[in-house]
Structure 1
Amino acid sequence: MNGLNFPLQIVNGNLSVVTDGNLYKAHILSFLQTELRERVMRPQYGLKDYLFETISDITLIAANIKTGLQQYVPEIQLEVTGNINDQGEAEISIYWLFEDEEQPTIRLTL
C-alpha cells in the first residue's frame, strides 16, 4: 500500500510517497497534529487541544488518543500510555505494531 508522506514533502518535483510502516506512521502523525474539528468533513478526526486544560488523570487522555487512532488507523495494533513530567507537561507514548513487527515509539508532549 502506498500513500503520501506526512508532513508533505516534494522529491524530484513530486510529492513524497511512503509504503508499509512509514505510511501508518504518517497516518498517526497526521492524527496527532490535527486539532479536533479542524477538518470540516471529519469533525471527530484529530486531537483535542489540552494546552490550557487541567489534567487530573492522564490515562483518560491516553485512552481518548488510542480510541481515535484505532478508529482512523485500524490496520495497526497500538498501546498508548501517558505520564506527567517534572515540568507539569503531559507526555504521551505510542507503542505500535505493523504486521506484528514493533515500530519505533512515537512520543508527544501536550
Structure 2
Amino acid sequence: MTTKGISFPLEVDATRRTLITSEDADLYRGHILSWLLTDKGERIMRPNYGMKDYLFSAVPDLGVILTEIREGLEENIPDCQFQLQGSINELGEVVVSVYWAWKGEDQNTLVVTLTP
C-alpha cells in the first residue's frame, strides 16, 4: 500500500495547478524536515509542533537536546524509527545527524544545524 501526501516544502505543479505530492519514504522525509525546521509555537493551531529553540537555554549536556529532538520526532512521526548523533562545531553550532528508517529500511541521513 502506498502512502501519499503533500510534499515538503510546498510547491505547485504549474501544468496541473495542484500541489506536488510525494509518497512513501519521500513523504516521511518531508514530515521530518517539516518538524525539524518548524519552531515550537510557530503554528497557531499546533503550538506544540516543532523543535524547541535552544538559543537562550542553558543545556548541561548535548544528550538532553538529542533526546528531546528524538522524542519529538517519535511523537509526531510514529511510523518511522530514529537515532540521533550530535556534535558541536568550531562555530559553537550544534550539528544533529538524524538517522531514520521507514518500514525497517534505513533512509538517507538528515543533518540539521542549530545555530547559537
**1:24 — aligned with what?**
28
Deviation of 1:82 (Å): 1.1
| Equivalent residue for 2:63, pick from 52, 56, 59 | 59
Deviation of 1:54 (Å): 4.5
Where do residues 1-110 of structure 1 align in structure 2 (5 Å cutoff)?
1-11=3-13, 12=15, 13-110=17-114
Amino acid at match of 1:88: G
Q: Secondary structure of 1:60's match?
A: helix
- Alignment identity in percent? 42
Note the alpha carbon deviations across 1:29-77, whole angstroms, 9 max, x for none: 1101111011122211101122344544111111111000100100011
Backbone CA RMSD of aligned residues: 1.3
What CA distance in whole angstroms lies between the structure 2 residues aligned with 1:26 and 1:80?
17
Q: Normalized against structure 2, the TM-score is what?
A: 0.88
Larger mean CA deviation between 80-89 and 48-57 belongs to: 48-57
Q: Secondary structure of 2:47's match?
A: coil
What CA distance in whole angstroms lies between the structure 2 residues aligned with 1:48 and 1:77?
20
What CA distance in whole angstroms lies between the structure 2 residues aligned with 1:55 and 1:90?
12
Q: Which is higher, the Rg of structure 1 or of structure 2?
A: 2
Count of aligned pairs = 110
